Amino acid sequence: MTVNRESKEKYEGLLKEAVKASKNAYAPYSDFKVGAALLSKNGKVFTGCNVENVSFGLSNCAERTAVFKAISEGVREFEAIAIYADIEEYISPCGACRQVLMEFNPGMIIICGCRDGSYKTKRLIELLPGAFMRKELQK
């Protein structure tokens, strides 16, 4: 995906917020700290981190934490989300997070970052083709 200069600056700023958010992660079991920064269409940024629990199924990912924070503040339109973990590979949202994000904007830009500060971008629909959508519930 080609990124213009204005978008590049916006995405890099969002990624910096995700890096900061990763420092707040509660990951005593995996030590895998993830941060996310969700950009709303009105320009507000909502951050999130992963929160683990001894009962692993009760854990929550950074991306969903950011989305839930935004929703709880009445924001429902999103442009992009940056995801970061201090690893050598690009981190990508899990399937559950992809589906939650899909609820709000299939064309959302996903910024996947890694330890060296580099990132790659994709549209959400590229990561979850054939997603379960609202129209499937219509009879």
Over residues 16-36, the pLDDT tens digits come to 999 999 999 999 999 999 999
Average pLDDT, the chain: 95
Q: Is 12 a catalytic residue?
A: no
User: For residue 49, what are the domain limits?
Assistant: 5-130
Q: How many domains does the chain have?
A: 1
Any domain includes 135: no
CA distance 90 to 134: 30
Q: What does DSSP say about strands 78-85 and 109-113: parallel, antiparallel, or unpaired?
A: parallel
Q: Which of 63, 73, 103, 126 is catalytic?
A: 63
Query: In the structure, what pLDDT confidence band is assigned to residue 49 with cuts at 50, 70 and 90?
Result: very high
Q: What is the CATH number of the domain that holds 17?
A: 3.40.140.10
Share of the chain above pLDDT 90, in %: 87
Average pLDDT over every residue of 42-64: 97
Find the helix or strand (DSSP H, E) in which 81 lies: strand 78-85
Is residue 14 situated within a structural domain?
A: yes
Q: Within a domain: residue 58?
A: yes
